[in-house]
Structure 1
Amino acid sequence: MRPLEGLLVLDFSTLLPGPLASLILAEAGARVVKIERPGRGDEMRVYEPKLGDDSVNFAMLNRGKQSIALDLKAADAVEKLTPLIRRADVLIEQFRPGVMERLGLGYEALRQLNPKLVYCSITGWGQSGPKAHTASHDLNYIAETGVLGLSAGADGAPVLPPVLAADVAGGTFPAVMNILLALRQRDITGLGTHLDIAMGDNLFTFLYWGLGSGFSGAGWPKPGGELVTGGSPRYQIYRTSDDRHVAAAPIEDKFWENFTRIIELPEAMRDPAAPEAEAKAAVAARIASKSAAEWQALFAGQDVCCSIVATLEEAVADPHSTARGLFTHTLKAGGQEIAALPVPLAPVFRAEPTRGIAPRLGETTDPLLSL
């Protein structure tokens, strides 16, 4: 039995943070019902590339769910949803603060119908504060919380990240964690709660080291000046002779000693007292003397904490990914079947590899609303 079997989740969210959160709950056994607007549905459905009628992004994030198409502004919308609300265990919404209240679906109204409901609101800046109603995307959250400012490219400008850190790490994961905590609390008290998940708030956790330095008076971190921002030869990306890259992280002395021995770094540059800029340049010169394949062969089986920077295609095909079964689950949409998105659930909490099907817009509207 998957641990969340028997739980009903109503998901009013769109795009990424909320749908990924409800996907994780679904993979753990919960029944997830998406509430979508008629005609268009979740905005993610229209993204490119397509997998059948909808986008592959939508299929990736919404496999195994059910879909209701309902105009939430209609006079009878709340009445139609009331039977489901009374039975629901969890509700996820991602509107700006106040929208659900105006629709008659705010927490205070719904807890009168269902005191056990765990009501999770995911927003960029939270339910209160000066930025609460500010429109933002992932790039804005990492920009305004200091994360982006600590990255720097060759020209010193911040580097555009390829991952949606605020949406997933600041929104989805805290939402799932707090939903599970709230369900555990409900086991004890019999009552649900309202969860205020703010993506911007949650990004500060990732900068624990910088906050500690700043708060303690040791100085606020700068891009290119700290251990993990490029200030040390022991935590760097170095170019190879064939224009690939080595991600080198031999931070501890034992790893540094192995690394510098293998790359034949001059003795003077191995000394921890060596000027960092000179040591970085010396390491860069050595790494630039061989190809990525040559370095990969030399580092193989050695404790050096070094990796060849892989493409996504290479990472998916890595034998370790295959051995871990990361892409054994599949999803089906539009007559096509592809590997499903891996989710961070321990295998013990998931069913054997399954085929998830992405829901067509409103396909379960009538049966679910007629209960």
Structure 2
Amino acid sequence: MTALAGIRVVELAGLVPGPFGCMMLADLGADVVQVSRPESRVVPVGPLDRGRRTVTLDLKTPSGVSSLLSLVSRADVLVEGFRPGVAERLGFGPSVCSAMNSRLVYARMTGWGQDGPLASRAGHDIDYIAVSGALDPLGHAGSPPPAPLNYLGDLAGGGMLLAVGVLAALVSREHTGRGQVVDAAMVDGAGLLTAFLHGAMASGIWTGPRGSNLLDGGAPFYDTYSTADGQYVAVGAIEPQFYAALLRGLGLDSDPSLPGQHDVAGWPVLRSRFATAFATRTRDEWAEVFDAVDACVAPVLSPSEAPDHPHMKSRSSFVTVDGVTQPAPAPRFSRTPAAPPSPPVATTVDAVLDSWPRPQIEI
């Protein structure tokens, strides 16, 4: 049995954050039925759609809404990613759904949230992390912050926040017997990811602009370096014992002219010496040098290389589903392990209802 066995989720197909959150729920064993629109403009997102049954409904028609509500009446969770007010206008807002299923967890995945001056505005990952303060600290000193893919807003601050909210609401339902609305906003989730940074600023250990602090590339012992083959290694030798191992691996441990690790004025010299040393060997040669050394040095692998790394292979951290290599479900459970992911399977509303008996109402 999986961790979420027996939990029924209706997911209204959308862009990346919602599918990612529902992928996590499906990975953990929830029975997720994804509702797609006819001739949907939503681009399939491959691994993010795994583990689902899928049905097609036109939610702009009374019959489509009626079919959706029949699923909702037997579901534990509904996930939708419309702008505020759209679901209500179409006839399946929280009040309608809760009236027919008081135990329903109604999860709303948006960028700006259900209220506030920007709630109805369009946006993308980069906008949400910009306003939340998560974007400004990223990047090199003297350069503008980069577009860091969509990890912080869509995935960590969006879909993962959604999954946590759904799970918390399900636990609460066990105590109260009632569901509730979960407002999962990427702008909130991205802001939540800056909790450590706010603490670091308050304590005075994070005082400079981007690219000048301990964990943002300012410190030469916490950064990436180019190697002889044009690849990169990542260095995170913060603690003194790891820093000492780094110097030994680079052959710099006996150099009396080397500035001290925490001599900020000497950091440019340290960075130059490290860069020169790393440029003498290839990435994989450096990986071999530091393979058995606790120096917190690792090769920077591409997404296509990562599945073949010995550690990742030993843990089966990647799997192949329908010919596509992708991350395996996580986290891992000792008693209720996740089943191997499977590709989405098309079905019908009637078939889903046949497999979802009506909940028995206690009198």
CA distance in 2, matches of 1:292, 1:108: 57
User: Which range is displaced more, 271-280 or 339-348?
Assistant: 339-348
User: Aligned in 2, Cα 1:303/1:218: closer, same or farther, shift over 3 Å?
Assistant: closer
- 1:17 partner letter: P
* Contact 1:149 1:158 (8 Å CA) reproduced: yes
Aligned to 2:261: 272
Aligned mate of 1:194, from 164, 171, 181: 181
Aligned to 1:287: 278
* Contact 1:257 1:270 (8 Å CA) reproduced: no
- Equivalences for residues 205-244 of structure 1 within 5 A: 205-215=192-202, 221-244=208-231
- 1:26 partner letter: A
Task: Please state how far the C-alpha of 1:367 moved relative to its aligned partner.
Answer: 3.4
Task: Please state how far the C-alpha of 1:107 moved relative to its aligned partner.
Answer: 0.9
Instruction: Report which of the two has the higher share of helix.
Output: 1
Task: Please state how far the C-alpha of 1:42 moved relative to its aligned partner.
Answer: 6.2
User: Aligned in 2, Cα 1:183/1:211: closer, same or farther, shift over 3 Å?
Assistant: same
- Equivalences for residues 163-202 of structure 1 within 5 A: 163-202=150-189
| CA distances 1:296-331 after superposition (whole Å, capped 9, x unpaired) | 222121110001212222211112222111234x43
Task: Please state how far the C-alpha of 1:220 moved relative to its aligned partner.
Answer: 5.3
Give the TM-score normalised by the residue count of structure 2: 0.88
Give the 3-state SS of the residue equivalent to 1:301 in structure 2: coil
| CA distances 1:217-240 after superposition (whole Å, capped 9, x unpaired) | 777552111111121111111122
Aligned to 2:309: 318
| CA distances 1:140-181 after superposition (whole Å, capped 9, x unpaired) | 222232333222258723223245321110111111111111
Aligned to 1:86: 73
Task: Please state how far the C-alpha of 1:189 moved relative to its aligned partner.
Answer: 0.5
CA distance in 2, matches of 1:310, 1:80: 46
Task: Please state how far the C-alpha of 1:366 moved relative to its aligned partner.
Answer: 4.7
* Contact 2:157 2:193 (8 Å CA) reproduced: no
Give the 3-state SS of the residue equivalent to 1:255 in structure 2: helix
* Contact 1:211 1:220 (8 Å CA) reproduced: no
* Contact 2:126 2:150 (8 Å CA) reproduced: no
Aligned to 2:7: 7
Aligned mate of 1:331, from 321, 342, 349: 321
- 2:40 partner letter: G
Aligned to 1:309: 300
Task: Please state how far the C-alpha of 1:197 moved relative to its aligned partner.
Answer: 0.6
Give the 3-state SS of the residue equivalent to 1:181 in structure 2: helix
Give the 3-state SS of the residue equivalent to 2:10 in structure 1: strand
Give the TM-score normalised by the residue count of structure 1: 0.86
| Identity within the alignment, % | 34
Aligned to 1:48: none
CA distance in 2, matches of 1:172, 1:273: 38
User: Aligned in 2, Cα 1:235/1:104: closer, same or farther, shift over 3 Å?
Assistant: same
CA distance in 2, matches of 1:207, 1:220: 15
CA distance in 1, matches of 2:338, 2:291: 35
User: Aligned in 2, Cα 1:267/1:238: closer, same or farther, shift over 3 Å?
Assistant: farther
Aligned to 1:50: none
* Contact 2:329 2:338 (8 Å CA) reproduced: no
* Contact 1:124 1:198 (8 Å CA) reproduced: yes
Give the 3-state SS of the residue equivalent to 2:193 in structure 1: helix
Give the 3-state SS of the residue equivalent to 1:10 in structure 2: strand
User: Aligned in 2, Cα 1:308/1:28: closer, same or farther, shift over 3 Å?
Assistant: closer
| CA distances 1:64-84 after superposition (whole Å, capped 9, x unpaired) | 312221111213433333332
| CA distances 1:3-54 after superposition (whole Å, capped 9, x unpaired) | 222221111131211112222222222211112112x236123xxxxxxxxx
- 2:267 partner letter: E
* Contact 2:94 2:106 (8 Å CA) reproduced: yes
Task: Please state how far the C-alpha of 1:216 moved relative to its aligned partner.
Answer: 5.3
Unaligned runs of 5+ in 1: 46-56
* Contact 2:26 2:32 (8 Å CA) reproduced: yes
* Contact 2:140 2:217 (8 Å CA) reproduced: no
Give the 3-state SS of the residue equivalent to 1:119 in structure 2: strand
Pair 1:367 & 2:351 matched: yes
CA distance in 1, matches of 2:232, 2:206: 31
* Contact 2:113 2:184 (8 Å CA) reproduced: yes
Aligned to 1:54: none
Give the 3-state SS of the residue equivalent to 1:87 in structure 2: coil
Pair 1:30 & 2:26 matched: no
